[in-house]
């Protein structure tokens, strides 16, 4: 997000636009927590994860009172338009604001890559690379000690991080919420790999799977009982959300931010910028929602085809 903010501010400045930063997203909009941003204010932030403006969940923005106060801030501060960077929830808020006549440009940011209309969102590549980094190190231990490792990654409703991280990290199995797999089948697959001569396995588990079959620790206990193998659990947690962004993320975010400023200058509003077929396109906010299927099932099959 920092790269997108930096690009929007600097490209906007070049185009003669004045930019204010809103701290903590919709919470800051409700509370009027804004301050001017100049090109110097966004210097040195491109290499940091997260957002220097901070972010916060804002239940108040779902209430009539909260929304009334947000609109009052927009009027009081004389804001001509808003650039809203975030996931499906933030972009739904952008759609509501647009419906109220507020000029809005949205930018997708979600490590789950589950926003309809864009092939890639800010944060996805960095999160997947963090998972691969972790799997590389876990595999060293798995190989040395001939163990099965269950690695839980983020993804309550989307298995994108698990799938892409597992494919790039050479995982033997990937469990995602989109494809239910009985634990008996998981145990059999792990055991069959050992019977083929493998002496270790890495199973990547999206956190959304645990809501359907139980905790990762429970899955590990089941595998221990059925396979009689040594099983360990690693939960990556919020490690995936931080760290220095990858070059791909910085470039994508910079392009989104600069394009948002250019759209504002051109008087183009009411859309989310999206990445499709190697180009930035505009997607109407009214069609932006969470993807029903964020993973490519062909890649899901490929992960398991390669685990022999």
What is the pLDDT tens value at each position of the chain, 308 positions in all? Answer: 999 999 999 999 999 999 999 999 999 999 999 999 999 999 999 999 999 999 988 999 999 999 999 999 999 999 999 999 999 999 999 999 999 999 999 999 999 999 999 999 999 999 999 999 999 999 998 888 889 999 999 999 999 999 999 999 999 999 999 999 999 999 999 999 988 888 889 999 999 998 888 899 999 999 999 999 999 999 998 888 888 999 999 999 999 999 999 999 999 999 999 999 999 999 999 999 999 899 999 999 999 999 88
Q: Which residues pair with 204 in a beta bridge?
A: 151, 174
Could you list the active site residues?
112
Handedness of CA 35, 250, 47, 132 (dihedral sign): positive
pLDDT for the residue numbered 146: 83
> C-alpha 267: how far from its chain's center?
29
**HEC readout, the chain:** CHHHHHHHHHHHHHCCCCEEEECCHHHHHHHCCEEEECCCCCCCCCCCCCCCCCCCCCHHHHCHHHHHHHHHHHHHHCCCCEEEEECHHHHHHHHHHHHCCCCEEEEEECCCCCECCCCCCECHHHHHHHHHHHHHHHHHHHHHHCCEEEEEECCCCCCHHHHHHHHHCCCCEEECCCCCCCHHHHHHHHHHHHHCCCCCEEEEEEHHHHHHHCCHHHHHHHHHHHHCCCEEEEECHHHHHCCCCCHHHHHHHHHHHHHHHHHHHHCCCCEEEEEECCEEEEEEHHHCCECCCCCCHHHHHHHHHHCC
Angle formed by the axes of helices 160-168 and 297-306, to 10°?
40
pLDDT for the residue numbered 198: 87
The domains of the chain, with CATH numbers, are 2-123+245-287 (3.40.50.450), 127-241 (3.40.50.460)
> C-alpha 24: how far from its chain's center?
18
Q: Which residues pair with 205 in a beta bridge?
A: 152, 175
Residue 174 · residue 166 · CB < 8 Å: yes
For residues 55 and 33, give the distance between their C-alpha atoms in angstroms, rounded to a whole number: 12
Average pLDDT, the chain: 95
pLDDT for the residue numbered 164: 97
pLDDT for the residue numbered 241: 85
Which pairing describes strands 201-206 and 173-175: parallel, antiparallel, or unpaired? parallel
For residues 224 and 228, give the distance between their C-alpha atoms in angstroms, rounded to a whole number: 5
For residues 211 and 157, give the distance between their C-alpha atoms in angstroms, rounded to a whole number: 10
- Sheet strand arrangement including 82-86: 82-86, 104-108, 271-276, 279-284
pLDDT for the residue numbered 63: 96
b or e along 233-253 (b: 16 or more beta carbons within 10 Å of the residue's beta carbon)? bbbbeeebeeeebbeebbebb
For residues 275 and 252, give the distance between their C-alpha atoms in angstroms, rounded to a whole number: 8
pLDDT for the residue numbered 144: 83
């Amino acid at each position: 997000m920092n790269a997108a903010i930096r690009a929007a501010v600097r490209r906007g400045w070049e185009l003669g636009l004045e930019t204010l930063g809103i701290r903590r997203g919709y919470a800051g909009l409700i509370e009027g927590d804004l301050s001017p941003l100049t090109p110097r204010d966004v210097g040195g932030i491109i290499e940091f994860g997260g957002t220097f403006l901070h972010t916060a969940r804002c239940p108040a923005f779902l209430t009539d009172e909260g929304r009334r106060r947000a609109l009052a801030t927009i009027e009081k501060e004389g804001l001509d338009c808003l650039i809203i960077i975030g996931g499906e929830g933030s972009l739904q808020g952008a759609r509501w604001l647009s419906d109220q006549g507020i000029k809005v440009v949205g930018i997708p940011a979600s490590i789950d890559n589950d926003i309809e209309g864009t092939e890639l969102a800010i944060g996805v590549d960095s999160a997947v690379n963090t998972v691969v980094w972790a799997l590389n190190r876990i595999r060293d231990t798995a190989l040395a000690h001939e163990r099965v490792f269950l690695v839980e990654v983020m993804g309550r409703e989307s298995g994108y991080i698990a799938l892409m991280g597992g494919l790039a990290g050479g995982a033997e199995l990937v469990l995602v919420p989109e494809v239910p797999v009985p634990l008996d089948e998981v145990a059999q697959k792990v055991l069959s790999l050992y019977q083929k001569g493998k002496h270790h396995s890495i199973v990547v588990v999206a956190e959304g799977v645990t809501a359907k079959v139980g905790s990762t620790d429970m899955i590990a206990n089941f595998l221990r009982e059925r396979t009689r193998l040594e099983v360990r659990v690693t939960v990556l947690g919020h490690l995936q959300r931080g760290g220095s962004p990858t070059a791909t993320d910085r470039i994508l975010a910079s392009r989104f931010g600069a394009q948002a400023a250019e759209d504002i200058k051109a008087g183009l509003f009411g859309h989310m910028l999206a990445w499709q077929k190697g180009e930035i396109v505009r997607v109407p906010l009214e069609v932006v929602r969470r993807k029903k299927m964020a993973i490519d099932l062909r890649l899901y099959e490929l992960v398991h085809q390669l685990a022999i």
